[in-house]
């Protein structure tokens, strides 16, 4: 049974028959209060019956995308060693704002080191180390506008550009922006694409 949290409602994904057609739907399991259930779009389909939200095609596609990504991320970090939660969070480096999804990730784990997915190995620097790391790499001089937050340990730096709102990998020996790779709009997309690109590279030698 696939369970998810949708707009504060713990629910089960299934189907509900509407006018002779099975439609994707969410069945409420639990919620903080009735208002949360109402606001999420659930309806009591018959007296004392289940609370159900019939999904549009776009809503179903988005939910399935989220569930698939969540599973991929869980698998990706299976052998990764996380750090303890940080004592103090920062929100910018060299005057550049750090992205919300990265800050949410770091507030739970504060980075760590280990295998990532099927093909990669990497390290997220601790949040309290970021300014020192960026100073040591002279990021403002060589890659202005970027903030380095991690590395694969083999010469590739993981960076974010707040103005362009992109994550990417940077060759630590190359300052040509045209060579930056794995450009992604979110941290999850960045990690998943990095793993997929690694798999493609490995397959060229099979």
| Cβ-based neighbour number of residue 119 at 10 Å | 16
How many angstroms separate the CA atoms of 14 and 28, rounded?
Answer: 11
CB 134 within 8 Å of CB 76: no
CATH number of the domain within which 128 lies: 3.40.1580.10
pLDDT in tens, the chain (206 residues): 567 888 889 998 888 888 888 888 999 999 888 899 999 999 987 766 789 999 998 888 888 777 766 667 778 888 899 999 888 888 999 999 999 989 988 888 899 999 998 888 999 999 999 999 999 999 999 999 999 999 998 889 999 999 999 999 999 999 999 999 999 999 988 998 888 887 544 433 33
Please calculate the CA angle 50-56-62 and round it to the nearest 5 degrees. Answer: 100
| Cβ-based neighbour number of residue 75 at 10 Å | 12
Q: What is the largest CA-CA distance in the chain?
A: 67
Query: How far apart, in Å, are the Cα atoms of 138 and each of 1, 47, 146, 169?
Result: 50, 66, 11, 16
3-state helix vs strand vs coil in the chain, percent to 5: 35, 35, 35
Query: How far apart, in Å, are the Cα atoms of 67 and each of 62, 71, 141, 183?
Result: 9, 6, 40, 22
Domain with 186, as residue range(s), is 81-203
Regarding whether 121 and 142 lie in a shared domain, the answer is yes
Number of residues that make up the chain? 206
Q: At what angle do helices 187-203 and 57-76 cross, to 10 degrees?
A: 70
Regarding whether 196 and 106 lie in a shared domain, the answer is yes
How many angstroms separate the CA atoms of 54 and 24, rounded?
Answer: 6
Regarding whether 64 and 15 lie in a shared domain, the answer is yes
How many angstroms separate the CA atoms of 206 and 80, rounded?
Answer: 26
How many angstroms separate the CA atoms of 79 and 164, rounded?
Answer: 32
* Final residue in a domain of this structure, among 31, 57, 76: 76
Phi, psi (5° rounding) for residue 130?
-60, -45
Nearest Cα to Cα of residue 45 among 61, 64, 23: 23
Regarding whether 59 and 22 lie in a shared domain, the answer is yes
Regarding whether 86 and 58 lie in a shared domain, the answer is no
Regarding whether 106 and 184 lie in a shared domain, the answer is yes
pLDDT at 104: 85
pLDDT at 71: 67
* Final residue in a domain of this structure, among 76, 109, 131: 76
How many angstroms separate the CA atoms of 123 and 121, rounded?
Answer: 7
Regarding whether 189 and 146 lie in a shared domain, the answer is yes
Reported pTM: 0.67
């Amino acid at each position: 049974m696939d369970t998810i949290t949708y707009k504060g409602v713990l629910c089960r994904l299934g189907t509900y028959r509407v006018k002779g057609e099975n439609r994707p739907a969410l069945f409420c399991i639990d919620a903080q209060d009735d208002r949360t259930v109402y606001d999420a779009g659930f309806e009591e389909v018959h007296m004392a019956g289940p609370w159900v939200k019939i999904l549009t095609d776009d809503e179903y596609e988005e939910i399935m995308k989220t569930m698939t990504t969540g599973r991929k991320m869980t698998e990706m970090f299976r052998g990764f060693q996380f750090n303890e939660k940080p004592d103090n969070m920062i929100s910018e480096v060299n005057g550049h704002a750090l992205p919300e999804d990265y800050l949410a990730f770091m507030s739970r784990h504060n980075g760590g080191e280990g295998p990532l997915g099927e093909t990669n190995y990497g390290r997220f620097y601790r949040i309290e180390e970021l300014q020192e790391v960026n100073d040591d790499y002279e990021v403002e001089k060589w890659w202005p506008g970027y903030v380095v937050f991690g590395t694969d340990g083999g010469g590739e730096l993981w960076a974010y550009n707040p103005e362009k709102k992109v994550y990417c990998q940077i060759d630590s020996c190359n300052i040509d922006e045209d060579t930056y790779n794995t450009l992604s709009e979110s941290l999850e997309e960045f990690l998943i694409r990095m793993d997929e690109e690694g798999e493609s590279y490995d397959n060229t030698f099979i």
